[in-house]
Each structure stands twice: as structure tokens, then as C-alpha cells.
Amino acid sequence: MQYFSYPPPRPRPWGYLLAAVAGAVIGLLLFVQLCPAFVAGRLLPYLPASPQTPPSTDGQPPPVLEIPTSAVVYAAERVLPTVVGIINSVQVRDRLWGRVYEERMIGSGVIIRPDGYILTNEHVVSDLRGESRLTVILEDGREVPATLVGADQRTDLAIIRVNLTGLPAAELGDSETLRVGELAVAIGNPAGLDFPRSVTAGVISGLDRIIRHEAAVFRLIQTDAAINQGNSGGPLVNALGQVIGINTLKFAATGFEGMGFAIPINQAAAIAEELIRHGRVIRAWMGVTIAEADEALRRYNVKLDRGVLLIHVWASSPASRAGLQVGDILLALDGKAISSYVDLRLVLDRKRVGDKLEVRYRRGNQESTVSLVLEEMPETPE
């Protein structure tokens, strides 16, 4: 019979490690049980606080704490009572059959004064003619007749009024302090009144987006909060529930999503004040018509390396009295280079009647600077 001798097994380090960890855990648990006061004093300041139920002081069950409201809910609840639906109805007669039927334009608006003044888009209340009428639908469901106070096509803003007082009015924010990326909440009546006071949320996607439409130049807020037909005239709101813009249009094209635009509330509030006071916007007027570089070369055979071409100077206008002439090259206004109609409008839209304007221009090879005083734009310049 043969015997075999095997060497004794070598100790493995990980066995000692597991034993040490187990011992430490057991020791820590015993220490916590035996010395709870010491543990609480040393560790609790570093632990995240948890909501505590307030103790009962009158023998009644303690009140239940509410879950904190989200920013979107807070903003919506603050402004929703001020959002209205607007119905622009007009009676139309069929020329062929003589039948009369009703056309309706549905939009949104926001109450800005307790005495019934409502801010909305001009295109919501446009084409008021003949048997047309305006109806406002309040949050409580009441349908109230409204009258047009004033409208301005250049800014797509209008003021209407209902004969009521004590209405909830929205708080207006400051659109000059907006930052790209902050919360934006849009409220309105998309697809008409089938989905009233719908709330959509997103962010401020861009600022000072320049869009030109005919003679109007818009400086708009861009947002990805959904804005659809029927949202026009409704408010764009920040996280504090303050109105920061008036929803006005959506960029609709294949391949593009989430591109809605709103008129900054600082601009809208100034226009609203003009409409309430005068029923129209009193604009500063210089009295010139211009051609940009492409048009100047194509139609007038004038090649421009900078500036715009004056193709008409209105008689008895500030520009005429300052000595400007057809054929002059307008280079700058108040030191800001002018190379397009948009540049011109952005300068003039910030001016008021009576303001001085410094004009830099070129005539032939000579550059000169003149100062003129802006006047009120006439309805039909002569």
C-alpha cells in the first residue's frame, strides 16, 4: 500500500478581507444601536433633509403636506384666468345664390387691465366689416360682446375691450431679460374652441429673430412650445407666470418642427398703450423710400458697396428739409450702418416723434452728416 502526502493548503488573502469587512459592518451596527445620540449628532447634518410632518398641537391629525407644484403648473394656473377665446364673426352673402352665411375667425387673447382691455393679434380681429362682430369667451364660460379699440398691422397687435370691470389681469414680465433656454409656456385655443386654453411647454429657443413681411419688420422670440392655429394672440409665459410675449405665428414647412414665434411683451405693451390712448400707433417718420443693393443695381443701374439708395424723398418731410435728395446713398442712422430695409426699420421703430436722428450719407464721392427731427408718419404722405 502506498501513501501520498499533500502539502497543506495556502491561506487565501480574500478570505481575510471578507472577514474584516463583515466584522466592521457588525461593529458599526452594534455601535449605532448602543450610541444613537452620538451617531445622530455626527451624521445627520450631512444627510439630505426629508420633509417632516408638522406635529399636532390641538389633538387633531397632523396636516398632510402637498407635493410641490411644478413650474409649468404654477405658471399656467397664474395666467389661465386671464386667457380668453376670441370669435370674429362676419356675415357673408353668396353672390351667386344670394344666401347669407357666417364666417368665423377663432383666436386667443389675454386680459391686460381689469377694466376689460384685452391684447391680441391684429390678424385675429382683421376684416371687421358690415355685419361683423367680436365675441370674447371668458374663463368661466361667459360669452361677452367686444369692441375693437385699435389695431396695428405693422406689429400684428390689437386691443379689444369688453364692458366689464374687476376682471383678472395678467402680470407682464420683462422680455429684455430673457435668456435662451429658460422655460416658456404657451397658452391658447389651438384648432379653434374645441381645445380651449391648451397649455404647451418648451424653452426660449432664440431671441431677436428678424422676420420681414411686406412693409413690416418683426423682432420675435422663438420657442419650441407648440403654437398652432388658434393660439394667435395668446400669451407666452415664463416660470413666474408673467407674460413675456404674444404668440403670433408658427414656421410651418416640411422638415421643420418646434419653431413658434411670439412678439416680445415690452414691444407689445408699448403698442397696446398707444392703441388704448389713440386708437392707432403714432410712428416716427423720416420721409424716404429706399432700394437695397440688388434692386439698386437691377432697376437703377447703381452699384452699391455699402448703404442703400434713396429713390424717393417725400416733399415737406424731415429728410427733404435736411437736404437729402434722390440718388443719395444712405450709409448710417445714429451711427448704425444701414444696408437693408430691415436695418432702417429697426432704427426708426425705436424712435418717437420729436426725436433727433443723425444721418450719414454719400452724394457722388462726398460723404456728409446731417441731423433731422422725426415727425409723425402721415396716413397718406404727399
Catalytic residues: 123, 156, 232
Cα separation, 99 vs 103, in Å, equals 13
Q: Give me the residue label for grid cell 422638415.
A: 255
Whether residue 225 contacts residue 185, with contact meaning beta carbons closer than 8 Å, is answered with: yes
Q: Which three cell numbers stand for residue 51?
A: 420633509
Cα separation, 210 vs 219, in Å, equals 5
In order of 41, 42, 312, the CA distances from 51 in angstroms are 19, 20, 72
Strand partners, 109: 84
**Sequence-separated (6 or more) residues with CB below 8 Å from residue 362:** 307, 328, 329, 331, 368
The DSSP result for 49-76, as a single string, is P---PPPPSSSSPPPPPPPPPPHHHHHH
Whether residue 213 contacts residue 132, with contact meaning beta carbons closer than 8 Å, is answered with: no
Q: 144: how many CB neighbours lie within 10 A of its CB?
A: 15
Whether residue 242 contacts residue 222, with contact meaning beta carbons closer than 8 Å, is answered with: no
